[in-house]
Amino acid sequence: MSAAEFEKYEKLISPLRSKLSISQKIEMYGLWCVAARGKCTRRQPFRANLLEYGKWKAWKRYENLSQEEARAQFIAKSKALLKSHSSKL
């Protein structure tokens, strides 16, 4: 999947974020981080900082994927989410 296609779906999925479940948001965030930034380079935050720890954990979850694989998964999941939520937009 190309970077241009990734950017296209990044923009298409953006308005849908408020309608996603927490688990869907976490999954999409983790895939987006690897697709856009690559391997997680941040240090593990304290667990008491729930927001930052959750973001870090989501990113680490997909760190075994290459950027290309993460882009492909992000696009596939974006297409599925857009299709399932199309009547709700």
| pLDDT, position 81 | 96
Identify whether the C-beta of residue 74 lies closer than 8 Å to the C-beta of residue 31: yes
**Against a cut of 0.85, is the pTM above it?**
yes
pLDDT tens-digit map of 2-42: 889 999 999 999 999 899 999 999 999 999 999 999 999 89
pLDDT, tens digit (0-9, with 9 covering 90-100), for 33-85? 999 999 998 999 999 999 999 999 999 999 999 999 999 999 999 999 999 98
Given the candidates 2.60.34.10, 1.20.1440.60, 3.80.10.10, 1.20.80.10, the CATH classification of the domain at 3-88 is 1.20.80.10
pLDDT for 66: 96
Task: Classify residue 10 by burial, with Cβ atoms within 10 Å: 0-12, 13-18, 19+.
Answer: middle
Domain residue ranges of the chain, discontinuous segments joined by +: 3-88
Structure tokens at 38: 């690559």
